[in-house]
C-alpha cells in the first residue's frame, strides 16, 4: 500500500492526534488480554512460591499454586498459560527420561490446570534442557548435539504432554525435522486436535539468561546453543524455517526473542499470514523491570508500549511474563 498524503497545509497530521478520542479512532494496533500467553515456572512441593532473583515479580510455583495462578489468569481473560519446569537436579540424566514421565512436573501441572481452570489453553515446551544433565535442548554425543536421536526423544516428550491434556505443544528445541515427527506421532496417537506452536525462528540469544536461572539450566549448560539456534545476523533464514515448519504441520509460529527481532515478526507475518507469536523473553522482562526498579523508566508504560509493539509488528499475540500485570491494567 502506497501512503497518500496531501501537501501541507491541506494535510496536517496533527489534526488526528489532537485529542484522546481522535487518537483512539485512528489507532491501527491494539493490545488486549486476548493477545497474552503467560509463561510460568513449575517446581515441586506444596504451597511454594519461590522468587526468581533475576526476574523480579516472577516465582517458581508448586503445582497447587500453578493451578491457582491459572484460575486467576482465566478470570483476567488471559487465553493461555505456558509451563516450564524447574526439575530437581537429581532427576537430570543423559537420556532425559524424565522428559516423558507421565507424572513429571509439567504433566502433573497440565492435569491440575485442566481441573482448576478448564477454560484456559495449556501450552507446553518441548526441549530436553530442563531434564538434560548437560543443559542442552538435544542429546549430546561426544560433544555434538545430535539431531535425529534428539527428535525421537522430543516426540516421546510431546506425546506425554498431549496425553496429559496439553492443548498447544511448543517445540523450542530447534532440531531439524521435529515438527513433522511430532505432528505425525500426534496424529497416530489420536491427538489430532493438539495444536503445534513452533518456535520456528529461535535465535541463539544472550537474552535467555534469567530463564536458564529460573529452570535451573544455567549451571548445567556446557558451551552454547549456536549449532542449533539461529544466528542473530540472519533474517532470510527465518523465513525458510517458518515455511518449513508450516509445511511439516505447525499451526502457529513464533519468533524469539521478541523486541530485538520485531523485523522478523513483520517479515514472517507479511510472507505467510499465519498466526504469528513473539516471545518477550526473560532478559527483556529483566531489563524493563530493572530500569523501572531504579526509577529510570515508567514500568507500566514501557510494559504496555513494548507489548503493543508486537501487535504493530504483525503478531497475533505474545508470550510475556508481564501477562497478569498487563491484563490487570488492560481490564482497568
Ligand X SMILES: NCc1[nH]cc(CCC(=O)O)c1CC(=O)O
The catalytic residues are: 202, 256
| Contacting range for ligand X; rule: CB under 6 A; set: 27-35, 87-95, 124-132, 234-242 | 124-132
Kindly report the number of other CB atoms within 10 A of residue 118's CB atom.
11
The only residue of 211, 228, 261, 277 in contact with ligand X, by rule CB under 6 A: 211
Residue 127 or 255 with smaller CB distance to ligand X: 127
| Contacting range for ligand X; rule: CB under 6 A; set: 111-119, 125-133, 140-148, 151-159 | 125-133
Q: For the CA atoms of the chain, what is the radius of gyration?
A: 20
Q: Does 134 bind ligand X (CB under 6 A)?
A: no
In angstroms, the Cα distances linking 213 to 62, 245, 283 are 17, 29, 11
Q: Does 127 bind ligand X (CB under 6 A)?
A: yes
x/- map, 263-302, ligand X, by CB under 6 A: ------------------xx--------------------
The only residue of 35, 74, 98, 137 in contact with ligand X, by rule CB under 6 A: 137
Q: Does 212 bind ligand X (CB under 6 A)?
A: yes
- Bond preceding residue 216 cis, omega within 30 of 0: no
Q: Does 208 bind ligand X (CB under 6 A)?
A: yes
Whole-angstrom Cα distance, residue 45 to residue 184?
Answer: 35
| Contacting range for ligand X; rule: CB under 6 A; set: 65-73, 111-119, 204-212, 306-314 | 204-212
Per the CB < 8 A criterion, the answer to whether 83 and 66 are in contact is: yes
Query: Site for ligand X (CB under 6 A): how many residues?
Result: 12
Least CB distance from residue 258 to ligand X, whole Å? 9
Residue 76 or 319 with smaller CB distance to ligand X: 319
Whole-angstrom Cα distance, residue 72 to residue 66?
Answer: 10
Strand partners, 145: 140
**What is the per-residue burial (b if ≥16 Cβ within 10 Å, else e) of 308-318?**
bbbbebbbebb
Longest Cα–Cα distance of the chain, Å, equals: 71
Least CB distance from residue 67 to ligand X, whole Å? 22
Matching residue, cell 503493543: 308
Amino acid at each position: 500500500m502506497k501512503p497518500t498524503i496531501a501537501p501541507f497545509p491541506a494535510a496536517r497530521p496533527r489534526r488526528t492526534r489532537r485529542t484522546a478520542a481522535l487518537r483512539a479512532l485512528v489507532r491501527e494496533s491494539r493490545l488486549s488480554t486476548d493477545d497474552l500467553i503467560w509463561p510460568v515456572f513449575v517446581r515441586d512441593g506444596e504451597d511454594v512460591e519461590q522468587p526468581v532473583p533475576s526476574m523480579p515479580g516472577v516465582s517458581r510455583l508448586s503445582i497447587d499454586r500453578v493451578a491457582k495462578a491459572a484460575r486467576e489468569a482465566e478470570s483476567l481473560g488471559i487465553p493461555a498459560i505456558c509451563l516450564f519446569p524447574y526439575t530437581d537436579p537429581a532427576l537430570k540424566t543423559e537420556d532425559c527420561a524424565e522428559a516423558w514421565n507421565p507424572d513429571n512436573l509439567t504433566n502433573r501441572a497440565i492435569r491440575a490446570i485442566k481441573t482448576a481452570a478448564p477454560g484456559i489453553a495449556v501450552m507446553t515446551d518441548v526441549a530436553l534442557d530442563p531434564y538434560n544433565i548437560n543443559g542442552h535442548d538435544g542429546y549430546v554425543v561426544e560433544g555434538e548435539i545430535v539431531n535425529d536421536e534428539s527428535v525421537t526423544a522430543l516426540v516421546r516428550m510431546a506425546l506425554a504432554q498431549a496425553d496429559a491434556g496439553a492443548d498447544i505443544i511448543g517445540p523450542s528445541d530447534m532440531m531439524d525435522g521435529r515438527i513433522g515427527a511430532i505432528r505425525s506421532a500426534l496424529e497416530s496417537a489420536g491427538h489430532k486436535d493438539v495444536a503445534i506452536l513452533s518456535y520456528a525462528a529461535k535465535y541463539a540469544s544472550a537474552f535467555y539468561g534469567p530463564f536458564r536461572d529460573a529452570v535451573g539450566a544455567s549451571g548445567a549448560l556446557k558451551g552454547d546453543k549456536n549449532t542449533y539456534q539461529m544466528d542473530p545476523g540472519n533474517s532470510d533464514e527465518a523465513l525458510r524455517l517458518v515455511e518449513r515448519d508450516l509445511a511439516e504441520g505447525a499451526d502457529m509460529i513464533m519468533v524469539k526473542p521478541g523486541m530485538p527481532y520485531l523485523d522478523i515478526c513483520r517479515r514472517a507475518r507479511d510472507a505467510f499470514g499465519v498466526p504469528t507469536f513473539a516471545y518477550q523473553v526473560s532478559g527483556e522482562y529483566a531489563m524493563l523491570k530493572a530500569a523501572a526498579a531504579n526509577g529510570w523508566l515508567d514500568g507500566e508504560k514501557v510494559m504496555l508500549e513494548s507489548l503493543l509493539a508486537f501487535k504493530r509488528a504483525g503478531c497475533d499475540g505474545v508470550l510475556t511474563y508481564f501477562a497478569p500485570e498487563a491484563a490487570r491494567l488492560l481490564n482497568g
